[in-house]
Amino acid sequence: MQLVFASNNKNKIKEIQLLLPQSIQILSLEDIGCIEEIPETADTIEGNAILKANYVTQKFGYNCFADDTGLEVEALNGEPGVYSARYAGEQKDANDNMDKLLLNLKNKSNRSAQFKTVITLNLNGKQTLFTGIIKGKIIEEKNGTNGFGYDPIFVADGYDKTFAELTIEEKSTISHRGLAVKKLVEFLK
């Protein structure tokens, strides 16, 4: 089975392909000739996942799935949330985003946070949503070089390493995206 994953983020594509059975092959947006940036204008994570999946289905006619992820920090009333990728500006720079977040948490003792991923699957005219959440905390400085986004400052509950210190295989088995993809795979069986 081939499914379009509405992303050109090579890190995400690699992470998700590792979680899927070999019977499911992912095509990226680039693979189907979609080179434009899909607008993410919804005010929720769910809304953006739906927008991206619908864009591919309506414009290109493919069965597909799309995800949106946000980091929600308790002491910041859920920020950066839906704005996680562009928290520090439209340049979408991970280091700038982490620096802004660490600055905003500077004098806060509550560092509880969660990553939330929502996957929207458009398959044969039906739409289904899958959610994965992993709780943890934001540490005070960046550690690790694996992963992407906020991985160097997020430690999942029950772990003592950041997502960026885990291997991609370790991270994908416990991560928010991994949990949502597992639900997707179960559904597709």
Contact present, 55 and 5 (Cβ < 8 Å): no
Check if the beta carbon of residue 68 is closer than 8 Å to that of residue 45: yes
92 is in an annotated binding site: no
Q: What is the pLDDT of residues 14-30, one digit of tens each?
A: 888 888 888 998 999 99
Backbone angles phi, psi at 71, to 5 degrees: -100, 125
pLDDT value for 8: 82
Whether 12 has a binding-site annotation, put simply, is yes
d(CA 130, CA 16): 14
In the chain, the N- to C-terminal Cα span, in Å, equals: 11
**Which residues, in sequence order, are bridge partners of residue 72?**
80, 114
At position 60, the amino acid (one-letter code) is: F
pLDDT of residue 59: 96
Please write the tens of the pLDDT for every residue from 89-148.
Answer: 988 899 999 999 999 999 999 999 999 999 999 999 999 999 999 999 999 999 999 988
Q: Is 63 annotated as a binding residue?
A: no
Q: Which residue has the tokens 């806060």?
A: 108
What are 158-182's pLDDT values in tens digits? 999 999 999 988 888 889 989 999 9
Q: Evaluate if residue 88 carries a pLDDT over 90.
A: yes
In DSSP terms, 115 is beta-bridged to 71, 134
What integer best gives the mean pLDDT of the chain?
A: 93
State pLDDT tens for residues 32-86.
Answer: 999 988 988 999 999 999 999 999 999 999 999 999 999 999 999 999 999 999 9
pLDDT value, residue 91 = 84
- Residue 176 has a pLDDT of 92
| pLDDT of the residue at 32 | 95
Residue 6 predicted with pLDDT over 90: yes
Nearest Cα neighbor of 66 from 129, 125, 119 is: 119
User: Domains along the chain?
Assistant: 2-188 (3.90.950.10)
Q: How far is it, in rounded angstroms, from Cα 49 to Cα 129?
A: 9
Is 93 labelled a binding residue? no
Residue 22: closest CA among 177, 179, 170, 185: 185
Radius of gyration of the chain (CA): 16
70 labelled binding-site residue: no
Residue 42 token pair: 């919804």
Phi and psi dihedrals of 126, rounded to 5? -120, 150
Ramachandran angles phi, psi of 40, nearest 5°: -115, 80
Active site residues: 68
